[in-house]
Structure 1
């Protein structure tokens, strides 16, 4: 529905532009009538909320120490977007598609992509250090990839997964790939998830009761004896999705995530027809790179925001390391915890401030990559997935290119249990892979390590392990704008929050909200 709204806005704006061009020919009298009709329609309808133009094209950036002027505005912009990840860049793209050119994107890092990042392994081969998968129902990011002429390909999963438990090794083929989950447990979770709206779990009729429990608490109450494979799979999948084992994630939050996936927890854990089904050709960061290329000088890198002043007034000042930008609206496309690094004057409303302060930011995640001359494990009927019950490795998987020209094993690891010395980290993981996949694993040609908690101060937490009692107390403050501040980022999405798809959806919603607010301001002048 959001995509349709934005598309309608763009079509209306395009129609107006066509009409203006036709009006240059005085013989075309009907176009003038059409323009007047559209102007009247836009001025009063809800659809017009998306078309919030100031009547200026090519607005220049207003930085202190040398402002570039614009007619009647002294460098005033319509929108400043903080963050050049998928959310922020999608918002910028949608503003441009709607005809708004009076905006600026500022990014603290020296690159775009946010929590997506590509390791270039050479010869066009990429391994993703951050978010990488898309699956059924994640239509926003799939549509974006198509629009950017970026393809996808299937995640490899054929063969047996390898498990280590109490020193013992065993291999088993899991239907559909991914983690195994007990069918009895899955049915109970799915039934319960139908009562928890993914866009607002705190509004579930039994939210207060559910939000008292962790996922582990609830599982114990069910009296179901799980197999070792299910225990390992459940622990690994929860750790990867939420950054904590079942004992650390709130049941209400977990159920809302299942509700997002059409109340099918098994689809969240599967590769085939599941949330890990496909990878993006060229690596997930390519989407942000392509969107950034279209922005030109509307994007500033290495430009952290330190302070936002007068967010409750008509004109807001955004203080960055490259100067002060004056704007009418601000899209804050950041993890809520990162918002704490910005000083807000005046202080934010108490509810929003407390949500940011209490937002769980202790799941930075760490991914490693071993590269081999070929995916040798496939020859042995193995799929590259290794899941021990303890130790530094959480889960590894085959991240080779679609043609299998080289073998790539990527892995999620426990930051505190793996040395940050590259040689030692490579050796420890190679030993585990050798036990699971064969002696060839001792001889990688490349090793890469990306610890999101250490690479820069602009990530803090890749995913959000929401604990019990968080949503029922603070959830209502997540999305509502504060003055001229529009909150964005995957955490604010009303579907697939936490995934790349959620980031794209949140950027679309933020752009629409900004355009509606600007249009309302324009009508009041």
Structure 2
């Protein structure tokens, strides 16, 4: 705790010092030039903006392409103050950055509901299992993965001692060498698909190990509910964090303002061409997925390494989540926790996503790509039938149904998670975080810890704000 306190004090002190230095040394002859332009109004971009403001730097703007803030967090409004999260929603032990942010914003948390038995479906077969202590798994194999993960730093997996060898393999290839039985193969196929949006064959082993490393070298912590990264939810839904930050920032957040072109990133003043005009800034924080960066035109073109990283960034895991709303969480009366795992079919995993007081029953589901119609009525009927097989016929009659396919929701998502393929990190990883001219790369994918998670987004926002303030001070000292 002492080390954490000292680290936090150093960060806050560094931001404040840099902010005061910027304010003191800021030239007044160019009122049309901002100190910082932030691209992206999700958790990362808004965290950077909040840090800039706290440090005394008020010359900035947040440019959000959507008509809302929150990025890959988004709440379905179910009425009467109840919401269900359509995107990222959970936090767990070790995710201290977002937990601290929630406390500062006075957003309360509550535990994910997991007490009772989960239901597994395979064709017409139905099996109940008590998973209150976590799902059963191959302890020997999990231990081997955890041990390997200790050698792969989440901050820079390409710097691992055996990076070249590990990055040649997919998770599927590695698993095939472990002599797994059918049940273990099915289990790992489902867990990788759920967590990373791809099959084990499409996931690089080096990336998989780096993600486990980020979760204290514990696959159980990465994928678990009790004691894991899915243990805790936010009262009011995860998007409330971004909504509260944006409210504080006021008109510094410009919505429906996508950046189309960036000119002069290698000069003292950068021009950002947006749908609402040209913004000029001394530093630019790009708090968006690298695949979205590739959709922006850069003049001059970016260096080849960074440009190729963006072009090759995997963007094929958009994720689709659905919501069934019932009068009450009736499954709890039967000793069920609402979790449904379908081995074959459109449903990967469903779970109890009801509000803290259980005033209504909510079942959310992760859907396999391409296996459920996009017609809302048809999708609802198919899933309701699956839920009825698992939970009883009451599941056939939801009060509401919501469907969020992030691949179709808007052009600013592309992918919710990034399943890095074999060979990617050792070839392109070194270009991920170093600044390019006046461009500072941010977003959850750039985080040292918990990349891909909401916590990683907040961490990347803190880092980017500090980099921007330090760069501004240096820029003006060199002027």
Q: Normalising TM by the smaller chain, what interval?
A: over 0.9
Q: Which residue is 1:346 aligned to?
A: 300
Task: Determine if the alignment matches structure 1 residue 164 to structure 2 residue 114.
Answer: no
Contact 2:18–2:55 (8 Å) recurs in 1: no
Contact 2:89–2:234 (8 Å) recurs in 1: yes
Q: Which residue is 1:21 aligned to?
A: none
Contact 1:415–1:451 (8 Å) recurs in 2: no
Greater mean deviation of Cα atoms: 240-249 or 206-215? 240-249
Greater mean deviation of Cα atoms: 346-355 or 412-421? 412-421
Q: Which residue is 2:255 aligned to?
A: 301
Mapped partners of 1:176, 1:345: distance in 2: 54
Determine which structure has more spread, i.e. the larger CA radius of gyration. 1
Listed one character per residue, the Cα deviations across residues 120-161 of structure 1 (whole Å, up to 9, x for unaligned) are: 111111100000000000000000000000010000011111
Q: CA 1:55 to 1:296, structure 2 compared with 1: closer, same or farther past 3 Å?
A: farther
Listed one character per residue, the Cα deviations across residues 141-188 of structure 1 (whole Å, up to 9, x for unaligned) are: 0000000000100000111111122432111112434x5431011100
Listed one character per residue, the Cα deviations across residues 306-335 of structure 1 (whole Å, up to 9, x for unaligned) are: 000000000100100000011100000000
Task: Determine if the alignment matches structure 1 residue 406 to structure 2 residue 373.
Answer: no
Contact 2:115–2:132 (8 Å) recurs in 1: no
Task: Determine if the alignment matches structure 1 residue 194 to structure 2 residue 163.
Answer: no
Contact 2:25–2:476 (8 Å) recurs in 1: no
Contact 2:23–2:56 (8 Å) recurs in 1: no
Mapped partners of 2:173, 2:220: distance in 1: 20
Mapped partners of 1:343, 1:320: distance in 2: 11
Q: Which residue is 2:465 aligned to?
A: 511
TM-score, normalised relative to structure 1: 0.88
Cα offset for 1:51?
4.9
Q: Which residue is 1:315 aligned to?
A: 269
Secondary structure at 1:369's aligned position in 2?
A: strand
Task: Determine if the alignment matches structure 1 residue 136 to structure 2 residue 93.
Answer: yes
Secondary structure at 2:321's aligned position in 1?
A: strand
Q: Which residue is 1:384 aligned to?
A: 338
Task: Determine if the alignment matches structure 1 residue 116 to structure 2 residue 73.
Answer: yes
Q: Which residue is 2:22 aligned to?
A: 53
Mapped partners of 2:209, 2:231: distance in 1: 21
Contact 1:368–1:410 (8 Å) recurs in 2: yes
Listed one character per residue, the Cα deviations across residues 409-448 of structure 1 (whole Å, up to 9, x for unaligned) are: 0001124111111111000000000001100000100000
Listed one character per residue, the Cα deviations across residues 226-246 of structure 1 (whole Å, up to 9, x for unaligned) are: 5x3x44442222112211121
Secondary structure at 2:22's aligned position in 1?
A: coil
Q: Which residue is 1:524 aligned to?
A: 478
Mapped partners of 1:71, 1:98: distance in 2: 19
Unaligned runs of 5+ in 1: 14-47, 58-69
Mapped partners of 1:298, 1:50: distance in 2: 17
Q: Which residue is 2:10 aligned to?
A: 5
Residues 342-381 of structure 1: pairs in structure 2 closer than 5 A: 342-381=296-335
TM-score, normalised relative to structure 2: 0.96
Q: Which residue is 1:215 aligned to?
A: 171
Mapped partners of 2:169, 2:137: distance in 1: 20
Contact 1:135–1:274 (8 Å) recurs in 2: yes
Contact 1:50–1:513 (8 Å) recurs in 2: no
RMSD between aligned residues: 1.5
Q: Which residue is 1:454 aligned to?
A: 408
